[in-house]
Structure 1
Amino acid sequence: MSDSIQSTGNAAVAEAVSDADLLAETAIAVGAAGSVLRERFGDVVRHRTREELMSALAANDDAVLDVLRPRLESLRPQAGWVEEELAGGALPSGEWWVVDPAEGNVNHLHGLPDWGVTATLVRDNQPVLTAVHLPLTGETYTALAGGGAHLDGRPLRVSETTDLGLSLVATSQARPDEDQAVIRRIGSSITSMLGDALVVRTSVPATLHLLNVAAGRIDAFWQFAGARADLLPGALLVTEAGGRISDAEGRPWTPASESLLAAAPGVHTAAVATLSR
């Protein structure tokens, strides 16, 4: 088992709490942790070296995890914990907490508003519930498998757009120092979408774009490569809001896939065609 994954027990342990109740408590936990991140937000955090940058990123993560991890572990003591937020691929069987304590951390350090806290419970490699808190707005997005997607209790629904040429679409860079083949694929896909969609947005983090797809504000989002922590929350939100999830070629998406496409049903096929060129 990877050093970045810690298991705290067997996910088969029976629990009386329902997944709906667990989601409600998870939402409270990410809200409390988000308060820590909000208190650390302000001026641009200057750095002269990669080491200084990584130290500042880690300081944010650690401050949030000091609050978030004990709360989640008390909710689901038998669940494993994914330590590395940039890790990808399938997980071992059972239950796992997949958490990004500072999704959009680099934005936070640069004084930009696009960041939040996410926590997703994965059961046998399927996301069961997720909560995403945006501390600057106070908004909390939640989704429960089979139970819909919500923003502060209000149901979310993807766009009804059927014309890619009228669509606002978005993409994101999964991580710094990406493989050159992935970089070329990102560039090619943006060029293709610039010709077929109305407007293309490019920014990080992925989760915030996926929230907007679930809320019907953006019609499609795609990303090449990626980590569980930045794709699983949004994938569940979009699915529960009525959207379609696949890889960029239209095949079923899993955390081990090399790409993700999340779209309103009416533009999914056209987006696949564009990204497959």
Structure 2
Amino acid sequence: MKILYRSRGTMNYTSTRTSVAVLKDMHLLELVTDAVQRTGTALWSRYSTTARPADRGALSRALDQNEKSAVGYLRAALAVARPRAGWVGEEQQFTALPPGEWWAVDAVEGNINLVHGLSDWSVNATLIRDNEPVLTVVYQPVGDLTYTATRDAGAFVNGIPLNVSAKTDLRLAIATAGQAEVGQRGTYRLIGASIAAMLEHTLLVRATVPTTFPMLRVAAGHEDLFWQYQPSLAGVAAGVLLITEAGGMVTDLHGAPWHPGSPGILACAPGLHVDALKILTPLHY
């Protein structure tokens, strides 16, 4: 299995238009990896560990500038790679998708971290085929880490295979809850209740944004389980494929298979799934 991994270099926005009548997923992975890494390199040039926006205006300008510098190039590159694939928009983040291929993309995942000089930000692109993630690339410029996965071919970071935790005892688990998306105030109490419940049964509980990073850590076995209420598709699609290809389990909060539009998600090591559901399912509306 050939995985393209390129160390950070100089950004070049010149793109060669490639004829892609039919692309195998492994070939497509190389094109997507290149596009995601180039987008991340452009953002890296804007990143500073000393960044500290002091007011709402400065914060908004920094966020908007990062989005504008990343989305246009990445969308164009992915359109060349897969011209018939749709693009998941805001109105489709919480629903099932129509049949066919769709790109679920966050060109600046963790933008709020980037503009505050923190390390947890990335560029994510996931191809969803008939409501199932089949290919993903996540590039984290801080650390120069490239996570890749294709369906039935494994998950990797910089070409090294990923494997989820082998833990079977929930009392030893490191668990992370994803925060609600902005405006979803109805889930705040539910998040608090679920964290309180998990604190009774696990070694350590965290709550964080963005969603991608705890899911990367579950795929790599550094953490053991992740859950979130009302997750956005672009936030979890990459993690779903990486975790399942690394040997983990991903379901909704009732134990049914996860799919775009599921109102909740649980991603964890297989040996913890049943016990985690016993805690979370009774809380879920």
- Structure 1-normalised TM-score? 0.90
Superposed CA deviations along residues 69-114 of structure 1, whole A, max 9, x for unmatched, are: 2211111111112243982211222111111011111111111111
| Native 8 Å contact 1:86 1:229 kept in 2 | no
Q: 1:147: Cα distance to partner?
A: 1.0
Query: Which of 130, 133, 147 in structure 1 is aligned with 2:136?
Result: 130
| Native 8 Å contact 2:180 2:188 kept in 1 | no
Query: Which of 196, 220, 223 in structure 2 is aligned with 1:218?
Result: 223
Partner of 2:40: 34
Q: Secondary structure at the match of 1:202?
A: strand
Separation in structure 1 between the aligned mates of residue 79 and residue 54 of structure 2, nearest angstrom: 34
Partner of 1:46: 53
Q: 1:227: Cα distance to partner?
A: 0.6
Separation in structure 2 between the aligned mates of residue 55 and residue 249 of structure 1, nearest angstrom: 41
Seen in structure 2, the aligned counterparts of structure 1 residues 86 and 92 have a Cα distance that, compared at 3 Å, is: closer
Separation in structure 2 between the aligned mates of residue 53 and residue 176 of structure 1, nearest angstrom: 16
Q: 1:200: Cα distance to partner?
A: 0.7
Partner of 1:91: 97
Separation in structure 1 between the aligned mates of residue 58 and residue 188 of structure 2, nearest angstrom: 25
Partner of 1:193: 198
Separation in structure 2 between the aligned mates of residue 149 and residue 165 of structure 1, nearest angstrom: 27
| Native 8 Å contact 2:94 2:262 kept in 1 | no
Separation in structure 2 between the aligned mates of residue 86 and residue 115 of structure 1, nearest angstrom: 23
How many correspondences in the alignment?
Answer: 262
Q: 1:220: Cα distance to partner?
A: 0.3
Partner of 1:70: 76
Aligned structure 1 segments of 4 or more residues deviating by more than 6 angstroms = none
Structure 1 runs not aligned, ≥5 long: 1-13
Separation in structure 2 between the aligned mates of residue 245 and residue 101 of structure 1, nearest angstrom: 24
Aligned pair 1:204/2:209, yes or no? yes
Separation in structure 1 between the aligned mates of residue 222 and residue 91 of structure 2, nearest angstrom: 26
Separation in structure 2 between the aligned mates of residue 47 and residue 86 of structure 1, nearest angstrom: 33
Q: Secondary structure at the match of 1:276?
A: helix
| Native 8 Å contact 1:115 1:134 kept in 2 | yes
- Structure 2-normalised TM-score? 0.87
Q: Which amino acid aligns with 2:251?
A: S
Q: RMSD over aligned Cα, in angstroms?
A: 1.7
Q: 1:66: Cα distance to partner?
A: 2.8
Identity across matched positions, percent? 44
Seen in structure 2, the aligned counterparts of structure 1 residues 37 and 85 have a Cα distance that, compared at 3 Å, is: farther
Superposed CA deviations along residues 8-44 of structure 1, whole A, max 9, x for unmatched, are: xxxxxx8332101101211111111001111111133
Query: Which of 28, 31, 36 in structure 2 is aligned with 1:22?
Result: 28
Q: Which amino acid aligns with 1:245?
A: V
| Native 8 Å contact 2:93 2:261 kept in 1 | no
